[in-house]
A and B are shown apart, each in its own frame.
Chain A
Amino acid sequence: MKNESPTNRVQEIWQCQPVEGIKMSVEEIRKRATKFEKKIFWRNMREYVAGAITIVVLGFSIARSHNLLDRSAFALLIAGMVYVMYQLHRRGAAKSAPASAAVGPSLEFYRCELKRQRDLTSTVWSWYLGPFVPGLVVSAMASAAHDWHPQHIAMLTFWYGLIAAFFVFVWRLNARAARCLNRMIDDLGVAE
């Protein structure tokens, strides 16, 4: 390989690398595409069923409870769960980029993907965490109203504090991811 520039040599190494020779017939592709669609369907179904089970359990709790505060807490948690499920369903369409973007120039597609991720992460408080807060607050109040003993209050404070800390952690993690995605989107402007 005399008189060959290093970059040409690298191009040659790249183009002559061994490959497995993976081939897929159209029939096989059709089968796999159908299988993939079924997989997505069942994944969505699992999310809905999990939500429905939680709603049923909370519904039973309402039926069994005679305390207004308890019932209000369960009702608010159900409302929160229904709202989050609706949002998951609505945003489910955004789980993959639109078909038009998938065949467009890479820059456009990349920006579209980053924006989608940013929008999901930057609004996580309003559509995923926030809806549960009223139910949790009323539930904490209901628990405290049952028993004013300091030991019980301390335990409640600990558990609800733990839940609050988890919510704040998830929110901050997502906010940080959104900021990072925003920077990446801004950086793309240089490439245009």
Chain B
Amino acid sequence: MSEAGAIPAVKSRQDELYNQVAGSFGPAIERLAHAYEADPDIRRDLVQEIHIALWRSFTTFDGRCSLRTWLYRVAHNVATSHVIKQRRSKGPGLIGLDELDNLPEASRSQHTADRNQDLARLMDFIQRLQPLERQVILLYLEGMDAASIGEITGLSARYVSTKVYRIKAVLARRFNAGGRNEE
């Protein structure tokens, strides 16, 4: 292929990969952005920022990992930068899973089976976590296993397994009341 023809070919592959990923994972990107940004307007900007970063990243996609792994790496990295920037302007406030679990919870009387309330509580919980733990919990909530989470985050399998175990315990404890009401 001539050099002149190579650039449009790269561009079209980049566009094609982007369309494929955006089509399949659009809602997942929005859920991810929701976990990183509570303000709806800033969240929309973050979603767009992730889309732009993804599209740009596909110029270097070499197929050594799956598109899903690539997507989550790029999306989490953009979101992490966003959190670091926000923390710089709003000050520290993010804590670890264990620390967060030790904080007193909202009154049990507020626990209802209402899904919206549960989602709001879940978001509040996630948005207070440090970036890496937040990534593990988000990927777990997206239904990924420890090996996939490890591949995306670069965290050791042992660390991910321990974290997932802790996450399950914390979620079960925090959301058990709502679950029982539903039964």
Interface residues of A (CB under 8 A from B): 1-2, 4-7, 9-11, 13-17, 19-24, 26, 29, 32-33, 36, 96-97, 99-110, 113-114, 117, 180, 188, 190-192
A-B contact count (CB 8 A): 150
B residues within 8 A CB of A117?
84
CB distance from B118 to the nearest CB of A (A): 5
Contact of A22 among B48, B140, B159 (CB under 8 A): B48
- Complexed CA–CA distance, A5 and B172 (Å): 8
- Complexed CA–CA distance, A5 and B76 (Å): 28
Contact of B74 among A23, A96, A103, A110 (CB under 8 A): A103
Report the interface size class on chain B.
35 or more
- Complexed CA–CA distance, A114 and B77 (Å): 12
The secondary structure that dominates the A interface is helix
Beyond A2-B183, A9-B179, A106-B153, is A23–B26 a contact (Cβ under 8 Å)? yes
The secondary structure that dominates the B interface is helix
> Do B152 and A106 touch (CB < 8 A)?
yes
Interface residues of B (CB under 8 A from A): 15, 18-19, 22, 26-27, 30-31, 34, 44, 47-48, 51-53, 55-57, 60-61, 70, 73-74, 76-78, 80-81, 84, 92, 115, 118-119, 122, 131-132, 135, 140-143, 151-156, 159, 168, 171-172, 175-176, 178-179, 182-183
> Do A29 and B51 touch (CB < 8 A)?
yes
